[in-house]
Amino acid sequence: MSMVDDNSISTSRAMFKPMTNMVHIDEKWFDMTRVKNSYYVLPGEPEPKRTVSNTHSIGKVMFLTTVARPRYNNEGELTFDGKIVIWAFVEETEAKRTSRNRTKGTKVLTSVKVTRPVCRDYLINKVIPAIQDKWPDDDEGATIFIQQDNAKPHVLPNDVAFREAVEQTDLDIRLL
């Protein structure tokens, strides 16, 4: 109900607010590879090497997506596409032991367990700077709301570290 425009409640057709100041973030799991793959190779080209020995050992990666509503000018031209950024919850580590695919010490990407401190770190160090870089200038001074779903690792709206990070910017950002 907070998204219904207060001026339209008394009319016969209630309208939603334009929500131009909303940023939506969400997480999504993706498999690193498919169970079955088809490859088209040229004659003499080597067949791609698959490093997964069993379909039960296919790794998964979680991505954090940040989007907002697109903006158009009076001529109908796109001024802001609404796509802010996508990040993978991964970290670069060294391989602990040698395998047939790599030697010990080789840099590999591993999935990060997504917890509240990890989400807070991504919000502070990645989402806020990305919003600062990409947010359209026509909303200068308006409050930007970051909409999250009810996943347990999401940052609480009254998180102290998040509020301190926002205060260091020139934006007014709040969590929902």
Q: Which residues pair with 64 in a beta bridge?
A: 27, 87
Asked whether residue 107 is assigned to any structural domain, the reply reads yes
pLDDT at 141: 66
Total structural domains within the chain = 1
Query: Does the model's pTM come out above 0.85?
Result: no
pLDDT at 139: 64
Asked whether residue 144 is assigned to any structural domain, the reply reads yes
Contact predicate 159/124, CB 8 Å = no
**pLDDT tens per residue, the chain (176 residues)?**
777 777 777 777 878 877 788 899 988 888 777 777 788 889 999 888 777 777 777 778 889 999 998 988 889 898 888 899 899 998 999 989 998 878 998 998 888 888 899 999 999 999 999 988 888 877 666 888 898 888 888 888 888 998 999 889 888 888 88
Contact predicate 15/4, CB 8 Å = yes
Supply the range of the domain harboring residue 156.
17-30+59-175
